[in-house]
Structure 1
């Protein structure tokens, strides 16, 4: 039984996907390949799906794109693309009262099943485009849609609704959106801050503040870090966001103020970091960096960039306790290494506990 458990543990470890696209999956020895399907049975979601940034135990297996709705007083249609990482039931727009008709997946007729009171189709891993129609006597007050759809493009009677009213229950209110809307210009303001955590390896947190106005849309920022020198670790965003392999960040934005945090680690030793703002048309020409030192690992001095008062900036409050520096485009933060390791380590300590057992005849002790 023990050899079987060892094979199971080894195969699970070798079959798990890498935490970042830049790291390739380890190969499985030929001797263990026949056991692969048996080991992974029941663990497909852990292997193929993506853990959520705020809760790694929760897995996201389906990723929707923009949902397009074209509705009139007599019916309408919808279109949405999906990326499915593991076989899933995909939620469709509509409900039992407003059932989607003539549903197709990649132009092929699809079987729609009522599950948990909503229409759903079952899809295997892959990329799909789902289309369907609606018909009703009069336009309903609201229409339910997949709650994690990032952007909803709504058209009522051939008139685009720039700000659809979508609540937390996934209901898009139609009657409220039939009123005339004021045209608003699309604008985007980006502020960027970085926390340099001088660990081994060095970590960098990129904190983005997005001030968005206008229509819901998809934007591309970056590359947000030098590809090849940094490996992404996590992305925390309330908005639907995706980090591409070239370091670009795709975000489905809507009006409001939003914060995103990206964490990456450096490859190899670091003696300097240069600020090169991406040429995406949105990135600011200056950034504020803060430095979190670890004297037990190494002692460095920051050179090449001016220090500023962190309390006089719009840094995240939890970062204002660190030394702050302002960097303009092309400037380099240099790390002058003074010492490596703890120059005054704590003295060695040894503690020992022993149990002494007295023999029954009293002739001695046993340790």
Structure 2
């Protein structure tokens, strides 16, 4: 870290610059010195900065989806945001977990291996309190989870894992499933202690309770998709896929739309008295002959012309012409 100058030192430096005792070139030469950064060869970095940034964007989308789900499920105000995305060893992550803890072991199919989804104990008890009808505030001592509490948390986590699918869809189509729930970190070892992992940390607020949510993804899980974990690939896939998806969604909705179609055989003007006295067998003379084309209206707009007829003893109309938009004769 660079040295912080006091106000007296800053005034002295400015005075020296004004009198010429110190030149700007000397200061520039000092600042151009190479900075040395420590590197631990025992734990080499396996994830590039660009890959960490992509993981950050993926889990920002996951945080938004999780925030929406928990707000509706718990019926209380929740706020979840990505705090950090970093590369550490599995030992560092495992050593930072305090027991008891809520650790969900998730199979990240079709990727190899498993990941850990950890919710802090304070948040876990707050969620349980809210599910059981409380206000969602837990101020008691941290204790071991009961079987009923684990069952309740297991149910909500099985729903949470579904929200991994959409954020990861531009990289791979996931089918994640919960393998088991552990409350002791010693029984949740998914990688060797010196294995590199990506740790995504979220800051979560549920009601008045604040805590952390961690996602630990071992390098072996990410290895098959590392080439796709680049911002360039991710954004190009998003733009192409989103355009195709929007087009497909619009087409499906249009195809399912219900329209009213009617065939206008002809028109006639009669008096109200004649209309009241109409009986079965009476004949009304229309303004069209049997040789004229009839109008076919879609939602009260004439779209086609056709010829009436029958098919298998059923009345039908054969379309003979499509009315274009610029046809003034049939425009409203």
- TM-score of the aligned structures, taking structure 1 as reference length: 0.20
Of structures 1 and 2, the one with the larger relative CO (CA 8 A, separation 6+) is: 2
More helix as a share of residues: 2
More strand as a share of residues: 1
